[in-house]
Structure 1
Amino acid sequence: MTPLALPIRPIPYLDESPASLLIRAAENNGFVSVLQLLSAYRFPSQSDEWLIASFVDQTRFSKIIHAMGLHKNCISLAYRRMGPTSKSPREMNGIGLAERLFRNGANVYCPECLKEHPYWRKAWSILPSAACNKHSIRLLQDCPSCKQPLSVTRNRLLYCPCGHDLRQAKAEMVNPNATQWWSSLIAARDQEALDQMLLFWSALREVDGLGDGTAAEGWRLNTTMNWCRGDQCIDEVLEVIEPRSPYIHPRLQLLPFLREKGDLCDFAKQVLKRHSPFVFATPPRQHEGQLSQEEAAAALGITSWQVRKIIKAGQIKFITAHLGRAKLISPNEIERVLRQLSETQQNERSHQRLSGRHSLTGIIKNILAGYARTDGYDLNPPKLTKLQQGLAGTLLSIKDQKLGWRA
C-alpha cells in the first residue's frame, strides 16, 4: 500500500535549505525525527549520511518530495552538481562551489532572521559565511545553551532538544563587510575571481588550524578579503604560526602556500622573511600524513629533481606508494632535515668554500654534517655562481663566517 501524502505540507521558501524543509515537514506532522519521516515513506536507507547525500542529488530528493506529496518546487531546494562525481562542485547562483565549502546540516543560523521568518537560509550553509548581512551579527553555531550540535534529522526547527528557543539566543555584533564581499563575489558570477579568492582562503584554512567555527571563519574571511584587496596580511599570519614554530617548522606550517605557484608562494616567502627568531622545542611534534615529492620540495625550498637526488643518496627516507612507484615522504622526515639545516648555526666547525664541482648530494651532506650553511632562500636548479640562484648559490659555505638560516 502506497503511503498517503503528508496531511500538512510545508510551502518552500525560495532560499530555504533542503534540510530545513524536511525538518519542518517532520515537525508539522508529528514525527519524532526526519529519519522516522523517511521510514514512513519506505525509503530503504535511513541515516544522516544518506539524508545529506540526498541534498546534492536532485533525483533522490525528487523521489522524497513526490512520495510525501510536496509541491514540485521543493525539488529545486536540493543542490545540483556541476559534474558527474560526488566531488564535483555544487551549483550556487550559476557558479560552481567546491564540496568542502558546505556545511551539510542546519546548525548555523542568525537568531534575528529566525524571528522574522522561521526557516534555515541556504546561504548559512556556505562555509566562508560568518555574519548576517542584514543584522550585522555573527552567525551562531549549535545550541548556545547546551552547546550540542543541532542534528540535521531533528524534528523541531527552532528548538534544541534541550528545550532552548534558538530565536532567543544572543549574538555578537560584528562588521559584516567580509561576508558582504563574499556574497558579492557569488552574485557577480565571476568564477575565475572566486576561484582565486578561494585558493588563498583554502591555504589559510589549512595553516591556521582554527576549525570551522563562525568566529574563526570571520577572521579567515576578513584576512582573505584584505589580502585580495592588496593588504599584505603578514602580521595576521605570523600571529598564528610563530607560537607553533618551536614545535612545527614554519616552512612546514606554510606548506599550503609554498606548494602553490605565483602570488601564494610569494606571500609565504614574505612571511618567512618576517618570522622572529625562535628556539626549537624538544622533541618536535609528530606529524600525520604523507607528502609527495613535490610537496617535500616546496617545504625544503628546492626542486623535485633535487629531492629525488637526496632520496637516492639516502638523506631522506621514503615510503613506497601502493603501486610501488611513487615515493611518499613523512612530514617528520622534512621536519628533521629542516631542523638540522637550522641548527647548523650552532655548529662551531670551520667552513670550507664549496667549489662548482660539488654535487647537490654533496652539498646536502655538508649541510647536515655542519660544514655548510644555508641562508634560507628558495632553491632552483643548482648553480654556484650567484647567491640566490640554485641550491649551491643559497647553501654557500664561507670560511670563518656564519650565515644564519632564517626561513
Structure 2
Amino acid sequence: MHLNFIAKHRPGESLSCLLIRQAEGVFLSPGELLSRLGSKCNPSTELLALLRANKCSLAAIWPLSDLKQSATYQQVAESRQYKQWINYNTLGVCYRCAEAGFVPESHDFSIMPACTKHSLKLSKECSACSRPYSVNRYHLTHCRCGEPIRSIKASEAEIEEAHYVEKLLHGGDFDSLNAYKELRSITRRFAANNIELSPYIDYINGQPEPLAEHISIAAQQLTHISLRALSAPFACAASEIVKLYAPRLLSSLHRPKNGVKGVSTPIDFRLDQTEFRYTLGLKPQTAAAIESRFFNLTSRVGRPSASFTYQTLARFFEPLLPETDKTTCHSVSLADLSASQKLTIDALIERVLTGGITLHSYDDTRPLSQIRVVNDMKSNNDAPKGYMTLSSVVAQLDSYEEAVRGARDAGLLPATHQRSCNNRYLFAENDVEDFHKKYALIGELARETQYQPMRLSDRLRELGVIPVAGPFEGNSPVSIFRRSDINDADLKGALKITNYATNSGRKPKSTSRFDSETWATGQEVAAELDIPLAQLHRITRHDLLVKGVPRVRGSQRRYYYRRDSVETTKDFLNKAVDINDLSKQLNTNRKKLISRYLYLLKAEPIKVGSKSLVPEKDANTLLSHYRNYLDAQAAATYLSTTRHQIGNWKKASRITPIPPDDDNYIRSPQLFRLSDITRLKQTLIEESKAPAGPSVANV
C-alpha cells in the first residue's frame, strides 16, 4: 500500500497517538490501516511488537532509525512485565491533549491517573457506549462510536500522584514504580482507598510505619484474624521492595483501642495460598496438612490457586485469639509440645480448636507454632529441668536438625553431651533464648522475607554481611547471621544488586566464568586429544588427567581439567605403544599379553578410540619380562621340544618355575627363568655328546 502521508514521530509523543495520527491522515482506522499493510494482528499487538523492536508491519512506515524511542519506552521494552504497564486496549485519554494533537508517552501507561499538564483526570471509558478507549479509533478526540471524549478535573491527590508516577517513569525507576502499584493494589483489599501519597512514598523509602498505621485503622473490624494475616499480602508481594519492609510493617501493626466510626468491614479481603502459608509460618508439609485437615484442600502440583476469604479465615483464627492471657499457669508453645509429645502441629491445633488442649495465649504476629497452651501433659523427652533436647530446640527455632547441629558445632549454641543417654545433646533453655536473640538462621530470614534462602544469603554476602557460621565460614551447613548485622544492613541496596557471587561458586555476570588459563572443559580436552568425549573417564581413571571442581559460578558442568595435565597427557599418549604392535613384536597372543600385563603390573591398557595403549614405561617392562621369563610354550620352542616334555622335566626337578615370593611371579601361566632354560639346554647338549654306556646284551 502506498501512503501519501507519513506521520513524523515527535519527542515525547506516545506510540498510540502516533498510530492514530497516521491512520487519521489516510482516513482510516488503525485496524483498517494495518489490514491494508498486510498485517493479521490487531493494533495493540502491532504497537507492542514495534515497542519491543520485533517484526511488525508498522516498521515499514517508521523504521527504527526514524522512530526515536525515549529511555522510558526502552526500559519497558526490555522488561518481561511490559504488558502490565501498557495496554493499548484500555487507554487513559486527556481530551485537551487530544485536541492539541499531542499525547505524551506517560498517558500510555495504565498506572497514570491524571494529566500533569492540564490537571485533568484521564478518561478510561466512553460515557455513551461504556467501552474502554482503545488505540483502534478514528480520531484522537473521539471514541470509536463517534462520541467526543470528555475529561473531568482531577483532585489534588490525583495530580500529586500523577507527578510522582511521571517522575518515576522519566527516571526509569521501575522497581519503585512496581512497588507503588502493588501497594495500591494491596490497600484496596482493606477498602483503604483514601490513603494519601506520602505513606506509600515513605514505605518505598524504607519507613513502613505510616502505612502500617493506616492499615491498622482500615482493618479495625478485622478482629477475628491475626495481624500476621494482615501483613501477608505485603510479605508475599511480587515487588522485592514491598517484601523487604513487610517484617517492619508487621511489627508496627496494632489493633486500635478506640474504634473509628464510619469504617465498614472490607468483605473483599482475601488471601491466596502463598499468603495463607506465610500467615501460618510453618513448614510446607505442615501447612499442607492444615489446609487438608481444616479447609479440605489437597496439595496440587504447580502454582497455588486456592483463595481464602475473610469469613473462612475468621472461622479458623477466632478460637485462637483469646482476649486475655492466663498468666497464672505454666504454659508451653506448640513447637515444644510437638517435640515432647511426638505430635504434629496440625494435630495439636485440632486439639486446641476442639478443647482437648487449653489455650493460654497467642502473639498473632508470630507463626502458629508459637501458640502457647496450658502445659498439663507429661513430657516424653525425659530432659532435666531447664534443659531441652535437640528435637525441642528444632521445634523452638522452627528449623531443622542439621541447622541446630551446625550452630552447635560452630560453638554458637552451647550443649552438654550425655554419652550415657544414647549419646544425646542437651541445651540449656537460657542458651537457646540467648542464641535466638543474638543470631538468625537463614531459613528464618527466608520465611520472614519470602526469599529463597540461598539467594538471600548470596545478596547479604555481596552487601558485606558475612555470616558468623556457614558452609564456607565454619562447620555449619547453613548460614547463621548476627541479628545486629541484619538490622544495620541496607537491604534495599541489596535488592538492586544484579551481578553477585553465589555460595555455589558462580561469579557475577560481569566476570569470567572461570580461570580458562588454568582449567579446560571436557569438550576442549576431548578435541585437543582427538578422542570421544565419553572416553575421557578412561584416561582420568589412570590418573593422567587432573580432574577438579573449581569455584565455577553458575556452571552446569560437574568437572573441569587442568590444562597443564592435558599437555602432559597428550605427550604421554603420543609415546604410548599400541597393544597390537607390542604383541607382534613379542610374537605372542594379544590376550595373553594383556593377561600378563594385568597380573604383573596390576594395570590394563588404556582404551582410546579403537586403540588399546600401553604406557611406554610399562611396554619396556613387558619387553624385559618376556625376554627373561618364558612360559611353557616359549620354553618348549626355545628348547625345540614340546610342552609335554617341559612338564616331565619339571616333575623330574630338572627345571623349576619361579616361586610365588619372586617379584616377577604371576599366577598364570607358570614362568621359567631364561637362565634356567639356557642352563638346561647346555646340560642336554653335553649329555647328547657323552659316549653311550654298555648295553644289556653285552653284559
- Output the TM-score relative to the length of structure 1: 0.67
Deviations 1:19-45 (A, max 9, x none): 2211111112111x21111111111x2
Counterpart of 2:354 (choices 369, 374, 379) is 369
CA, structure 1 residues 318+195, in 2 after alignment: closer, same or farther (shift >3 Å)? same
Does residue 1:195 correspond to 2:153, yes or no? no
Out of 69, 85, 91, the residue aligned to residue 107 of structure 1 is: 91
User: Tell me, what secondary structure is at the counterpart of 1:319?
Assistant: coil
Show structure 1 runs of 5+ residues with no match: 83-88, 279-283, 381-389, 400-407
The Cα of 1:153 is off from its aligned counterpart by: 0.9
Instruction: Provide, for residues 53-87 of structure 1, a one-character-per-residue CA deviation record: whole Å limited to 9, x for no partner.
Output: 424332334x4231x477952373798676xxxxx
- Checking the alignment, whether the CA contact within 8 Å between 2:120 and 2:152 is kept in structure 1 is no
Residue 42 in structure 1 maps to residue 24 in structure 2: no
- 1:49-128 to 2 correspondences below 5 Å: 50-61=45-56, 63-66=57-60, 68=61, 72-74=65-67, 76=69, 90-91=77-78, 99-105=83-89, 107-115=91-99, 117-128=100-111
Question: Which residue of 2 is the match for residue 157 of structure 1?
Answer: 140
Q: 1:64-118 deviations in whole A, cap 9, x for unaligned?
A: 231x477952373798676xxxxxx535xxx997542334346313333334x31
8 Å CA contact retained: 1:363, 1:395: no
Q: Using the alignment, how far apart are the partners of 1:317 and 1:395 within structure 2? A: 26
Q: Is the 8 A contact 2:190 2:218 kept in 1?
A: no
More divergent stretch after superposition (245-254 vs 360-369): 245-254
Matching residue of 1:255: 232
Deviation at 1:202, TM superposition (A): 0.8
Residue 195 to residue 246, structure 1, CA distance change in 2 (3 Å): same
Which residue pairs with 1:233 in the alignment? 211
Aligned match of 2:8 in 8, 11, 15? 11
Instruction: Tell me the distance in 1 between the aligned counterparts of 2:117 and 2:246.
Output: 33
Give 1:331's aligned residue: 307
| CA distance in structure 1 between the partners assigned to 2:309 and 2:64 by the alignment | 58
Match runs of 1:119-198 below 5 Å? 119-144=102-127, 147-166=130-149, 169-175=151-157, 176-189=159-172, 191=173, 194-196=174-176, 198=178
- Stretches of structure 2 that go unaligned for 5 or more consecutive residues are 238-242, 261-265, 377-699
Distance 1:333 1:162 in 2: 40
3-state SS of paired residue (1:35): helix
- Is the contact made by 1:291 and 1:330 (CA closer than 8 Å) also made in structure 2? yes
Greater RCO structure (CA 8 Å; 6+ sep): 1
Tell me the residue number matched to 1:383. Answer: none
CA distance in 2, matches of 1:287, 1:369: 27
CA drift of 1:344 comes to: 5.1
More strand by share: 2
Q: Deviations over 1:355-387 (max 9, x none)?
A: 54354344312322243255243335xxxxxxx
Equivalenced residue count is: 350
In 2, the alpha carbon distance for the partners of 1:335 and 1:298 equals: 18
SS in 1 for 2:8: coil
Q: Does structure 1 residue 321 correspond to structure 2 residue 303?
A: no
CA distance 1:336–1:367, shift in 2 (3 Å): farther
- SS of the aligned residue for 1:158 comes to coil
Q: For 1:171-227, what per-residue CA distance to the aligned partner results, in whole angstroms no more than 9, with x for missing partners?
A: 2342533332333334444x5xx525633541441341599xxxx6x9675542243
Does residue 343 of structure 1 match 2:339? Answer: no
**Cα pair 1:257 1:268 within 8 Å, conserved:** no
**TM-score, reference length from structure 2:** 0.42
Q: Distance in 1 between matches of 2:161 and 2:268?
A: 35
Task: Say if 1:300 and 1:338, in contact at 8 Å, map to a contact too.
Answer: no
Amino acid across the alignment from 1:112: R
Q: Is residue 23–residue 30 contact of structure 2 (8 Å, CA) maintained in 1? A: yes
Are the aligned partners of 1:303 and 1:379 in contact in 2 as well (CA < 8 Å)? no
Cα displacement (A) at 1:302? 4.1
Counterpart amino acid of residue 365 in structure 2:
D
Q: Distance in 2 between matches of 1:264 and 1:97?
A: 23
